[in-house]
Amino acid sequence: MLEVKNISYAYANGRTIFSNIEFSLNKGEILTILGPNGSGKTTLLNCLANIYLPNSGGILINGVSFTELKLRELAQMIGYVPQIHMPVYAYNVRDFVVMGRAPYIGMLAKPKKSDYDLVDDALEMMEITHLADRSYTEISGGERQLVTIARVIVQQPDLILLDEPTAHLDYGNQLRTVKMIKRLAQEGYAVIMTSHMPDHAVLLEGKVGILDRSGHMCVGPAFEILQEDVLKEVYRAELKLVYIDEVGRVACVASGD
């Protein structure tokens, strides 16, 4: 469904952020991108969202190059949740979320009942129905993140991009968001998310891409890519992958040394 073919990106001053990035993703698959601060994770996501144009290589969705698609067509195929969204107008949450239907609604048309039905389903899925009538400008940063994810869900794209979706959430909402991402994949969406939490990649399984400080990324199944020596190099910390009987899974934990 998504093919990323040998893309590179550099700033106007010549500084290369990443190079030779190549991977593919099918519907129902999850790719978690890990890497240290400044490695270019958000820049890569912006290229996948068609916000930035790679200096070389190409990106195809459903077999068609980004360069051959109209912006409206891309908006129907790709949903993007940025790390931070700054509110401008005091829309209530329900009206803010229905804006995700914009690629399907005419310029002067209004959302229909069917559009708001999708909104109500998304709010329920994110467990934030109680926020429906609240002003988007008056809810917390973590709540805004959940609302923005709901807006992308009603967009019904083929591919959902999430830039550190758990960064501003408390631990309970982090776990609920990870669970929601797995559910989105089960419903057929392709999902790419960036994260600083290797354990989220363990929980999500799927594919993992590690973008290193030199701008190269290796991609593969989670339990092939997630190795202790690799994580130590990426995060410059002693991290261990340990099977915990009480929870019945492998977890990434920090060493006490």
CA dihedral 197, 167, 161, 97 (to 10 degrees): 150
pLDDT tens digit sequence for 96-140: 999 999 999 977 789 999 999 999 999 998 889 999 999 999 998
pTM for this entry: 0.92
pLDDT tens digit sequence for 210-257: 999 899 999 999 989 999 999 998 888 999 999 999 989 999 988 766
CATH of domain 2-254: 3.40.50.300
Q: Would you list the domain boundaries of the chain?
A: 2-254
Residue 204, Cβ density class (10 Å: 0-12 exposed, 13-18 middle, ≥19 buried)? buried
Helix (H, G, I), strand (E, B) or coil at 208: strand
* Region of residue 156 (phi > 0: left; psi between -120 and 50: alpha; otherwise: beta): left
Q: How far apart are the C-alpha atoms of 139 and 179, rounded to whole Å?
A: 23
